[in-house]
């Protein structure tokens, strides 16, 4: 009589039901002492996307075209980091404008309310792909209450703190730095918004508010714009930003 192999028994993993709530790598299963081949290949692909994001560059031509319908002047600026390798090795240089950009900022100083800076950070692709849509939701809210806006600044090889020097040079009362966030293995195209009341060189992170994970699969552009707008209004009302300014809007419940 032919010997039959026992039928495979499918085991329902209780973790599987939780996958719908997170992009994190949970309930991967296993093959022997390792993870299944499919999940291993997905991990390697995500890692490759993260590396690509870190080395991506701002597409100024695309951004200028995408933002032009907002009818605001644009300044193209650059940090003191001469190239991507230097930018990654010397974070301090990414926080400072080069001489040409510093002079350009001073030439456009006009004591406006808000300065918006688009910075590549660690995922220029996030800015290239999503910044225009975020601004399309945010700018009408700001103009609707008559905030005066400085030129939108495109900052290459830039860190968050470069917004302090830019806004201070433009004599703006408030800075909004939209920057590509450090990519993870589940999101390589996320924007972070860093908000600072009366920015000036030398400030540190406790002086800022942050709205993060702005992307299509994360915090939507509409909700992000509403949250940024709320924090800006609260900052001007209370004349502060950072750890003392709390988000009590409850916008994520809507």
- The pairing of strands 114-119 and 152-156 is parallel
The pLDDT of residue 251: 47
Measured distance CA(84)–CA(158) in Å, rounded: 10
The DSSP bridge partners found for residue 118 are 154, 178
How many domains are there within the chain? 1
pLDDT digits (tens, 9 = 90+) for 160-200: 999 999 999 999 999 999 999 987 767 888 999 999 999 99
- CATH number of the domain within which 175 lies: 3.40.50.11240
Could you tell me if residue 169 is inside a domain?
A: yes
What residues does 34 pair with on adjacent strands? 31
Burial of 145 (0-12, 13-18, 19+ CB in 10 A): exposed
Q: Establish if 234 belongs to a structural domain.
A: yes
Q: What is the mean pLDDT of residues 233-241?
A: 96
3-class SS of residue 84: helix
CA distances from 192 to 108, 160, 162, 165, 177 (A): 26, 10, 14, 19, 8
20 located within any domain: no
Q: What pLDDT does 254 receive?
A: 44
Rounded to two decimals, the pTM is 0.85
């Amino acid at each position: 009589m032919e010997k039959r192999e026992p039928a495979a028994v499918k085991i329902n993993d209780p973790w599987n039901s939780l996958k719908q709530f997170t992009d994190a790598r949970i309930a991967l299963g296993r093959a022997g002492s390792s993870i299944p081949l499919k999940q291993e290949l997905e991990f390697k692909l995500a890692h490759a996307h993260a590396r690509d994001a870190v080395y991506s560059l701002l597409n100024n031509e695309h951004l200028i075209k995408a933002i032009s319908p907002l009818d605001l002047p644009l300044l193209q600026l650059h940090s003191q980091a001469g190239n991507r390798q230097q930018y990654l090795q010397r974070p301090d240089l990414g926080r400072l404008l080069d001489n040409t950009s510093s002079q350009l900022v001073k030439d456009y100083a006009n004591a406006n309310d808000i300065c918006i800076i688009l910075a590549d950070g660690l995922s220029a692709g996030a800015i290239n792909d999503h910044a225009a849509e975020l601004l399309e939701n945010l700018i009408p809210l700001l103009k609707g209450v008559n905030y005066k806006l400085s030129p939108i600044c495109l900052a290459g090889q830039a860190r968050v703190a470069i917004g302090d020097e830019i806004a201070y040079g433009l004599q703006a009362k408030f800075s909004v730095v939209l920057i590509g966030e450090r990519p993870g293995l589940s999101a390589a195209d996320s924007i972070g918004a860093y908000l600072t009341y009366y920015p000036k060189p030398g400030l540190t992170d406790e002086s800022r508010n942050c709205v993060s994970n702005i992307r299509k699969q994360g915090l939507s552009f509409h909700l992000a714009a509403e949250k940024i707008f709320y924090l800006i209004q609260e900052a001007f009302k209370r004349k502060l930003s950072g750890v003392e300014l709390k988000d009590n809007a409850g916008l994520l419940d809507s």
